[in-house]
Structure 1
């Protein structure tokens, strides 16, 4: 990549657009929660709709990432955002579950196009504080996730799901800003990017098992994160909390996660990626169980602490993935922010089925165990300083040229 000096205004626009983009990513959990409590959907059907969006938006990200690394498709950021906004604004008028799943899958392609390009632009804006810069970008996305229930849950609960049309306006604004102000940088040159076959061979090398361990950690974290976003609205509303109070609680918890992302980036730059991932997952599991076991303000505080700990490693895993594939940072972003998250989203549909059989409480307790598995995997990660995938790619390219 040919990284020019990216202006503060352009980076700010990317941060804002990420907030709007991820607000849409948490759109369907609010819609399905209202439909489930209105007996228009089962929990398993609702989670399957959400999983369809998550899988579509996530699995496609590495593909978009590879295309971006090869050709630098800047337009992905604004077209992807507008595409998702338009489709999600239509969902309140769809009563057929299969059709709703189809629209959700199509909408997911919009965020799949946005994330690798935007993350690559942001990742190239800083060399010395990459963890902190990326954590700020991720934090804005998490803030968007937090805003969604606070705004949409009361809207759908009080006025009906037909008001989804309102959702088109934030996406339209973000798309316009991206069109005019997104960084106009040359993200890559086709001849400089590794051939797809070489890249896949390099990624598949046994010495690069770090990438697969990292993806496994992201998958486990995604199951918990997506599961909480899906089940918390149902959990609180089923306990007769008002839609406004429920939205505010989830907003506070996810905002804490956004703050955790910034703190995690700062800590990882100074004390290492591996310790941050290990201890944050341990803390997340303990705090979540405390939230479930207790009641009142203390339980809400523990929910915030758990979310903060869970998401503190979000930006860290993106940075590690980019360090593993330094010549293809958009692909790396797509794998860590997309593919792995999509696999986690698929698993959430199983959690929804579990909730239908054993209840919401049992499903949430199951979720709270999962960070412990991620912590165990983190033990086996190497220091990012020992990883030199870019050298492997260079060697492979050199060998190919000599044949």
Structure 2
């Protein structure tokens, strides 16, 4: 698979492209919401939140289980089967009439990305030689770019052909699944020797305080992020903004977030994980409120800056957890990219209820306060030397 510290760039590229598609699919359901409102006037903000949460929870909460399993034995088939499974389940969402069947399909689709992410991130770790941090950040950035493409590609598709067009969105999933089947690493791989359950428990106990702070930060940040993706399309529609214009605003926020994620990885190497996480999250809230109270180009600039600061800590929190439990990297990825995000996804139902009871503007106000709360919680994280300083001391 690889010799010495040789970096397998071709395989990393394939996995990164697959991550981009997986995360595009992960932002699939929020793009359907304005169209579901048109088809069913009784489609409330709470129902929207439940639908998005069904996917978020199933795709996230069980990721630590996949992570523990993959720390023991990698299974390459999870990346291509998981991708195909999610594509098939989501392609059916536009042709069902019953709301609860739609929720079930959303929950089943989430299992595909839950299978993909820990195995793919572990493959990146093994294939990256001595450039693990940079290449993991790039892998995560591809996912964020895919997430950003969701509104840009799906909203025009649904606008032109209706929700029944979901059936054709299975095609890129089939293509990428075949690509992974042919070109992903041929061997079942894991990030290291198989740890026993007692070793894992001991590792978690020793880092319990630090992990608790990191997971709480991610959960609150995820609540803000998922809340925006769920509520903002409904809010924009209530303000008589067209679906296309609203999708462009969301795309700008998400693309800026992807770029912010790359920049955040580099900044955290120089100044430390904690400083980047706390500073960027606290800065996000005033930028979001500046967007809320601005118009035109200035408002768009504030939204881009807010998205960049909110997501600049995305990959950094994953690396921070892996540094806290270095012998269980896939489990750390599952806890941060999965479990913590799932908790945030579950709580977004409360944001939906706020929108139904007090109005969508109140829900947006609460969402914009969440990043600063996450930043304050980040102050409880353990301070570690910046990665650049650690490497210079090791020489």
Provide the residue aligned with 1:397 in structure 2. Answer: none
C-alpha contact (below 8 Å) 1:134/1:265 kept by paired residues: no
CA distance in 1, matches of 2:38, 2:322: 42
Does the Cα contact within 8 Å between 2:83 and 2:173 map onto a contact in 1? Answer: yes
Indicate if the aligned counterparts of 1:131 and 1:269 stay in contact, CA closer than 8 A. no
Q: Give the aligned partner of residue 365 of structure 1.
A: 365
1:84 aligns with: 86
CA drift of 1:137 comes to 1.2
More displaced, 163-172 or 20-29? 163-172
Whole-Å Cα distance in 1 between the matches of residues 9 and 314 of structure 2? 23
Q: Which runs of 5+ in 2 are unaligned?
A: 388-395
Where 1:124 maps in the other structure, the secondary structure is: helix
Please give the root-mean-square deviation of Cα atoms over the aligned residues, in Å.
2.0
How far, CA to CA, are the matches of 2:191 and 2:257 in structure 1?
Answer: 36
TM-score, structure 2 length as denominator?
Answer: 0.93
For residues 135 and 189 of structure 1, the distance between their equivalents in structure 2, rounded to whole angstroms, comes to 17
User: SS in structure 2 opposite 1:327?
Assistant: coil
2:217 corresponds to = 217
Tell me if 1:227 matches 2:224: no
Deviation at 1:124, TM superposition (A): 3.4
**Residue 149 of structure 1 contacts residue 250 of structure 1 at CA under 8 Å; is this kept in 2?**
yes
> How far apart, CA to CA, are the structure 2 residues paired with 1:278 and 1:189?
29
Tell me which residue corresponds to 1:336.
Answer: 336
Distance 2:130 2:283 in 1: 28
- Pairing 1:155-304 to 2, within 5 Å after superposition: 155-184=157-186, 187-188=189-190, 192-205=193-206, 207-304=207-304
Gap runs ≥5 in structure 1: 388-403
Deviations 1:33-68 (A, max 9, x none): 321244252110111010011000001111111111
Q: Deviations over 1:68-125 (max 9, x none)?
A: 1111111111100000000000001112121111111111000000001111122334
Write the distance in 1 (CA, Å) between the matches of 2:152 and 2:177. 23
C-alpha distance in 1, partners of 2:344/2:36? 23
Measure how far apart 1:129 and its partner are: 4.4
Contact 1:320 1:384 in 2 (8 A): no
Q: Distance in 2 between matches of 1:362 and 1:88?
A: 31
TM-score calculated relative to the size of structure 1: 0.91
Q: Is the 8 A contact 1:151 1:247 kept in 2?
A: no
Q: Could you tell me whether the CA contact under 8 Å between 1:145 and 1:254 is conserved in 2?
A: yes
Equivalent residue, structure 2, for 1:396? none
